[in-house]
Amino acid sequence: MQEFTGLQYVKIDIANQFGLDKELWDDRIAWVDDNEAKLEEYATKADNEILYRKAVYALRDAQAGKPSGFIMGLDATASGPQMLAVLTGCLKTAARVNLINTGKREDLYLSMAICMGLGITRDIIKNPLMVTFYNSKAEPKKVFGDDTPEYIQFMETLTEELPGAMLGMQTINNFWNPEVPAQVWVQLDGMVCHVNVKTQCKTVVEVEEIGSSFTYIWDELGASSYGISIPANLIQSFDALVVREMKRRCNYNPELANMYLNAINYELGSRANLLVNVPLEPEMICMNQLEELPLRDISGLTTFDLNRMGARLSKMLSRPPFPLITVHDEFKAHPNNMNLVRYHYKEIMAEIAESPAFTRVLGSMQECGSFEKLSYDLPALIRESEYALS
């Protein structure tokens, strides 16, 4: 992973707000350097003028040696397909959404427009592609028509170019339970997700006094034989897991982390000669598991899990804590901390990829077998990726 100074990250933010967020890191920095004397003149041409001006002010403060409380953000590139790639182990989908380093900053919407052909532009394909991964069929048909050659080509393109994302959607849809009034599942860190099932009802109300009528529409809670809400809600619950885990790892308590690390090392020392069984898909270690685990209960953990917890704490303690602000899939921090933001995001995504996350969460909804991933090579590739946040 390329690392940058705080000043370079300010330049990256200037370029991002101008509209160059699809370019390579070095090209963004070079654009600011080439136009440094006239950055203020370009403000009215920026995609986001207010945030562009803010970043330019921060650059001028830094150049003048003034300390700054400036914060900047980097976004996940297509967070829904990113998460579906991670859960299914799909290398092809992962490469399209910057979880694998392809040597460039991938633009999912542009690449899918090119693959689809038919003169479709990025602007045309963006919304139907995005809402497809919210399980919408109606919105794409509004753009391409119902069963038209364009719609058929759109769906075939997604199936061919994003196979893991489409497989993940189909798998989640198969878990709709028609007999319950709420769909419930448990996330990897213990968060319980409860989504009421709503059925839209309507009736025509006749108003005899004025010789007219109107249609009254309302939602009723209760079991339904059909529903499309699970994929969006389940994937966004994984997005929320990433947000919670980012906050735990970026803004941790060093004193508490050291206390647990010492206790783990002491316990491991007493088990020095024990054999360790290493599973193919180790469970993800979420940091709230340590916070909620009494020290006296550490002896009840397996040697494998203790080793992993100790390694996780050691890695975390090797990097200083810092404040983090999150807005869905955007992560904001001081520019001096953005290398750490990118590192932690990739590490969390890699850990989800190497765990049986899909099996665990789907299995909390109803009994299921083990989900067989398309590849087990993705975690290492995520850790070497460059533009997962961009």
Judge if 282 and 323 occupy the same domain: yes
Is residue 193, in this structure, part of any structural domain at all?
no
Judge if 124 and 169 occupy the same domain: yes
pLDDT at 291 over 80: no
Judge if 114 and 66 occupy the same domain: no
Q: What is the DSSP letter of 357?
A: H
The span from the CA of 126 to the CA of 120, in Å, is 10
Helices (H), strands (E): how many in the chain? 17, 7
Judge if 151 and 43 occupy the same domain: no
Six-digit token string for 89: 């182990």
Q: DSSP 3-state helix, strand, coil percentages of the chain (rounded to 5)?
A: 55, 10, 35
Six-digit token string for 61: 């403060």
Pick the last residue of a domain from 145, 173, 201: 173
Return the closest-CA partner of residue 36 out of 10, 6, 68, 70.
Answer: 10
pLDDT at 275 over 60: no
Judge if 257 and 371 occupy the same domain: yes
State the amino acid at position 29 in one-letter form: I
- Averaged pLDDT, 323-341: 97
Residue matched to tokens 């370029």: 15
Pick the last residue of a domain from 110, 143, 173: 173
Residue matched to tokens 């690390």: 261
* Mean predicted lDDT score pLDDT of the chain: 92
pLDDT 10s digits, 196-249: 998 889 999 999 888 899 999 999 888 888 888 899 999 999 999 999 999 999
Range of the structural domain that residue 281 is part of: 247-383
Residue 273 has a pLDDT of 63
pLDDT at 386 over 90: yes
Pick the last residue of a domain from 19, 43, 70: 70
Q: How far is CA 143 from CA 102, 123, 124, 128, in A?
A: 31, 11, 8, 7
User: Comparing 43-47, 363-367, 372-376, 381-385, which segment has the lowest mean pLDDT?
Assistant: 363-367
pLDDT at 313 over 80: yes
Is residue 178, in this structure, part of any structural domain at all?
no
Is residue 222, in this structure, part of any structural domain at all?
no
Residue matched to tokens 């308590």: 253
Judge if 100 and 16 occupy the same domain: no
Is residue 179, in this structure, part of any structural domain at all?
no
Is residue 58, in this structure, part of any structural domain at all?
yes
Residue 225 has a pLDDT of 82
Judge if 131 and 159 occupy the same domain: yes
CB 123 within 8 A of CB 155: no
pLDDT 10s digits, 35-61: 999 999 999 999 999 999 999 999 999
Judge if 360 and 251 occupy the same domain: yes
Judge if 99 and 49 occupy the same domain: no
Number of domains in the chain: 3
- Averaged pLDDT, 252-266: 89
Residue 284 has a pLDDT of 78
Is residue 123, in this structure, part of any structural domain at all?
yes
Residue 276 has a pLDDT of 56
The widest CA-to-CA distance across the chain, in whole angstroms, is 89
pLDDT 10s digits, 156-175: 999 999 999 999 999 999 98
pLDDT winner (highest mean) among 21-25, 118-122, 148-152, 356-360: 21-25
Q: How far is CA 345 from CA 32, 197, 246, 298, in A?
A: 26, 32, 7, 27
Judge if 300 and 369 occupy the same domain: yes
pLDDT at 281 over 80: no
Is residue 46, in this structure, part of any structural domain at all?
yes
Is residue 217, in this structure, part of any structural domain at all?
no
CB 71 within 8 A of CB 334: yes
Bridge partners of residue 202, in order along the sequence:
217
The span from the CA of 378 to the CA of 97, in Å, is 13
The span from the CA of 43 to the CA of 38, in Å, is 10
Judge if 64 and 96 occupy the same domain: no
Q: What is the dihedral of CA 103, 108, 109, 110, to 10 degrees?
A: 20
Judge if 95 and 60 occupy the same domain: no
